[in-house]
Amino acid sequence: MCGIVGYVGPKPAAPILVDGLARLEYRGYDSAGVAVLAPQEIRLHRDVGRVRELEATLPKRFGGKVGIGHTRWATHGAPSERNAHPQLSADGRVAVVHNGIIDNAGPLRAELAADGVVFGSDTDTEVLAHLIARAAATTLEDAVLAALAQVDGTYGIAVADLDHPDRLVVARNGSPIIIGVGEREMHVASDAAALVRYTRQVVHLDDGELATVRADGYQTFTREARTTKTAITVDWSSGEYDKGSHEHFMRKEILEQPEAVRRCLRGRLDERFHTVRLGGLEMDAREAREFRRVKILGCGSAYYAGQVGAQFIEELARIPADAEPASEFRYRNPVIEKDTLYVAVSQSGETYDTLVAVQELKRKGGRVIGLVNVVGSSIARECDGGIYLHAGPEVAVASTKALTNMDVAFALLGIHLGRVRDVSPADGRRLLAAMQRLPEQIESIVADEEHLADVATRLAQAPSLFFVGRTRGYPVAREGAQKFKEISYRHAEAYQTSELKHGPLALVGPNLPTVAIVPDDELLERNVGALHEITARSGPLCVVTHDGVDLGVPAKDVITVPKSEPELDPLLLTIPLQILAYHAARTLGHDVDKPRNLAKSVTVE
């Protein structure tokens, strides 16, 4: 959350900073700002709203070849110009951009105020600017170290100082900072999306690490010593971060799902032995057999994908598996078992709650693998091994293609764990064949977009909706409700179908539609029975099901998806729910890619 950019080089900094902020806007978009070092002053420009407002009001004379910028998701202080970043020290000499939360900002603020400092904002970031400016240090690096020694909390920061106009100093503790290595120029960002237009050579800072960034290079260090970091190459290109001819990133990413699934499967299906190849797990068959339980950790949609994955693994490998929100796991002092495989799931690989859960697991000796989409991300580096999702860059806040590839990755993991146990070669062959059919089946669902848009227009008129599903269908319902509420702003609640009669049925009536997940599986009869209960109370129905299913009740809207193997049906049943949410939000005139109060990568508690 929040986007950070920085530039040191021979070119005017402001256009590069604004371009980078535009590419990071999905990380926060309530205000934005840039600061550049001029010969006698730090030139500062901030504005409330989107980056386009900042760019439209940027002064024509805003020269400077060293600068920093920020797009904000508010934590301390309401969205306003005074609370936007960069924040300056009282003497106007130091500028700071910051992602994270300074936990002891209140006491530090009180100490500084008692010492005569007048604050110009409500932010915790301004505390850092004052501490750096007041440090008794001769170098910017030592001043930053002195300031950070006084703070508790998380941060990714970039600092510019008028007295050291040839450099930026950056630091990381819990919030990502990446250095982009260019030709006689250097870039800084919180996400590679801001860098790939200028360079694909990047360096990831670790927690507790800082760097001095000059036009001719960088030097990383910690409080104790210098460190050595080698740049890695980012696979993604700048074109992958563009919408192209699409109205929204979310629709582009929905349409990209068939190819994303092909990438996730490529080279991983072993048709000779009817299993999968997952070399990134860093474990052999004997080690895989030793696990007696699987615990999956994620947040938001990653958590719901984890529920799909847990069910697949337990059903196939016949070992207990469950999913839990990483945000809860890290706070409840869990028992860590040596024969449990822990799986951390995150699109960005930077989700703070998930990252801290992984670090706690590692501290207690747990074996952790990661399912992440970003090579070199914090969670990827912390884990013992993992499965890269290969979904490609995902910009829309509401996850689509990354979520689908999480489901695919869990299916791969389930087949791997199942085949080293009791899953027969015939079952392995059956599942591999079904996996290979997934891209074409997704294409056929997306081709039904016109019908789905029509259904979404009707659902968008309801102030509240239920999404229901049973066993395999329940996490599908949860994900459907999540998508609908986060971008359409309509209240949507998910329940297990069997739980309707234990309370929620009291709300069912003509004004509350129910989106029911009804796969053609062993529970079809029970699911159809629940549809009767809803229609008996005049509840409008939208049913997501398979061809040929006799629902036995009049449903206002029926959406059919191709039938896969029962274990893989949840993946395909999820796709139309993405399209429903997209078109409902579009019908209501909302910003589909950047829903209010949310951001793409949650890197704060």
β-bridge partners, 484: none
Copy the structure tokens of residue 414: 């389930």
Q: Following DSSP, what letter does each residue of 58-117 receive, concatenated?
A: --S----SEEEEEEE--SSS-SSTTTSSSEE-TTS-EEEEEES-BTTHHHHHHHHHHTTP
Residue 41 CB: number of other CB atoms within 10 A? 12
Q: Is 600 a catalytic residue?
A: yes
Q: Is 299 a catalytic residue?
A: no
Q: Of 252, 295, 483, 600, which is the active-site residue? A: 600
DSSP H/E element including 498: none
Please enumerate in sequence order all residues whose Cβ is within 8 A of that of 15, keeping only pairs 6 or more positions apart, or say none: none
Strand 491-496 versus strand 514-518 pairing type:
unpaired
Could you give the count of Cα atoms lying within 13 Å of 81 in the half-sphere of its Cβ?
7
Q: Following DSSP, what letter does each residue of 406-473 receive, concatenated?
A: HHHHHHHHHHHHHHTTT--HHHHHHHHHHHHHHHHHHHHHHTTHHHHHHHHHHHTT-SEEEEEE-TTH
Give the closest residue to 197 by CA, choosing from 17, 376, 327. Answer: 17
b/e map of 258-284 (b: 16 or more CB within 10 Å)? Answer: bebbbbbbeebbbeeebbbebeebebe
- Please tell me the distance from the alpha carbon of residue 336 to that of residue 360, in angstroms, as a whole number: 10
Q: Following DSSP, what letter does each residue of 271-313 receive, concatenated?
A: TTTTEE--GGG---HHHHHH--EEEEEE-THHHHHHHHHHHHH
The CA-atom distances, in angstroms, between 101 and each of 104, 123, 132, 171 are: 9, 10, 17, 14
- Cβ–Cβ < 8 Å for 14, 58: yes
- Where are the alpha helices (H) located in 460-590, listed in sequence order? 473-488, 524-535, 569-587
- Where are the alpha helices (H) located in 124-242, listed in sequence order? 125-134, 140-148
8-state DSSP, 335: P
Could you give the count of Cα atoms lying within 13 Å of 154 in the half-sphere of its Cβ?
21
- Please tell me the distance from the alpha carbon of residue 228 to that of residue 226, in angstroms, as a whole number: 7
Q: Of 2, 264, 299, 542, which is the active-site residue? A: 2
Give the closest residue to 35 by CA, choosing from 77, 88, 79. Answer: 88
The CA-atom distances, in angstroms, between 124 and each of 86, 98, 140, 154 are: 12, 9, 20, 11
Q: Which residues are catalytic?
A: 2, 600
